[in-house]
Structure 1
Amino acid sequence: MDRLTADDDALWRALAHVVQRLPRVLDEDMSRAEGLSMTEFAILLNLAEAPGQQLRMVELAAATALSPSRVTRVVADLARLGLVRRTRHATDARGSVAVLTDVGAKKVEEAQPGHVASAHRRVLDHIDAADRPAVSRALRAIVAALAVSPE
């Protein structure tokens, strides 16, 4: 197939605009409301939801879809703010663990309402509630396909 149908082209272009614009506006919303970037919030939220509020750095990178080096830099920044601490893995001397501090847990709790409001204002309020399960399935299928290495 050499060309997209009109409907496929419209969907593709709309998705491209979302991919380009949404991260920026979500980041602006979070930064303005909580003084955190979306990347910082994503790391804190994943730690808050993890067993013992801690994750190996490689697990944190996978959970946030960030490169290991990016996670290392952001965790270092969050550690300087006292929101996380980094420790050695108990059984693997080569591995590091990011641990959410009490201050970090409080920050996640404080940021949650603004995050939810932004999610609604920027995305959810623009998708009919009845369509959300189908949209969610489609997006999860795209994510799963992206996880497969390209041929």
Structure 2
Amino acid sequence: MAAPAAPTGSGRRRAVPTPAELASWRSFLRAHSGITKALEVELEVEQRLSLAAYDVLVQLSEAPGHRLRMTELADAVLLSRSGVTRLVDRLERAALVTRSKVADDGRGVSAELTVAGYERLRVAAVTHMRGIREHFADRLDDADLTALERISRKLVP
């Protein structure tokens, strides 16, 4: 069965993207990949922390009680359940998070940010926020940022 055709600006549907659409898509992917790699390298070099680990610490810091079920955490950081389990294992060994059973669910497990984890996040955030400014925000003017946010909201499922 063929893939559904994408809507066009005029309301017509085509089976494949136009060359301009493909160019835009590829540009988007290159920009995302380049910025993500730069942020990852900076966190690794300066903080000895992966971007995924930083994301886990951020998600936990923003959650009520600094705690999330492992399944919610996996969804929030866009990792598989097994991937988030391995990452939380490493963060737990580093005393940045703890794991505990969910009180009202015998099978549920949650991850919680520790005081050391919060402090590690606070220090690493300096590097990460500087990277966001240098690799992203400083390259765009206010109109670009507004347009990108509007466009990005349309792309979120």
Could you say which residue in structure 2 is the equivalent of 1:91? 104
Query: What is the CA–CA distance in structure 1 between the aligned matches of 2:23 and 2:138, rounded to whole Å?
Result: 21
Q: 3-state SS of the aligned residue for 1:36?
A: coil
Letter in 2 for 1:73: R
Could you say which residue in structure 2 is the equivalent of 1:64? 77
Distance 1:97 1:3, change over 3 A: closer
Q: CA RMSD in A?
A: 1.5
Could you say which residue in structure 2 is the equivalent of 1:42? 55
Encode CA deviations 1:77-122: one digit per residue, 9 max, x unaligned: 0000010011111111111000101100101111111111001111
Greater share of helix residues, 1 or 2? 1
Could you say which residue in structure 1 is the equivalent of 2:86? 73
TM-score calculated relative to the size of structure 1: 0.87
Encode CA deviations 1:21-52: one digit per residue, 9 max, x unaligned: 33222110111121100000000011011111
Query: What is the CA–CA distance in structure 1 between the aligned matches of 2:90 and 2:151, rounded to whole Å?
Result: 34
Could you say which residue in structure 2 is the equivalent of 1:111? 124
User: Greater CA radius of gyration, 1 or 2?
Assistant: 2
Number of corresponding residues: 143
**57-66 vs 77-86, which moves further:** 57-66
Q: Which runs of 4+ in 1 moved over 6 A?
A: none
Percentage identity across paired residues of the two chains: 35
**Structure 1: tracts of 5 or more residues without a match:** 145-151
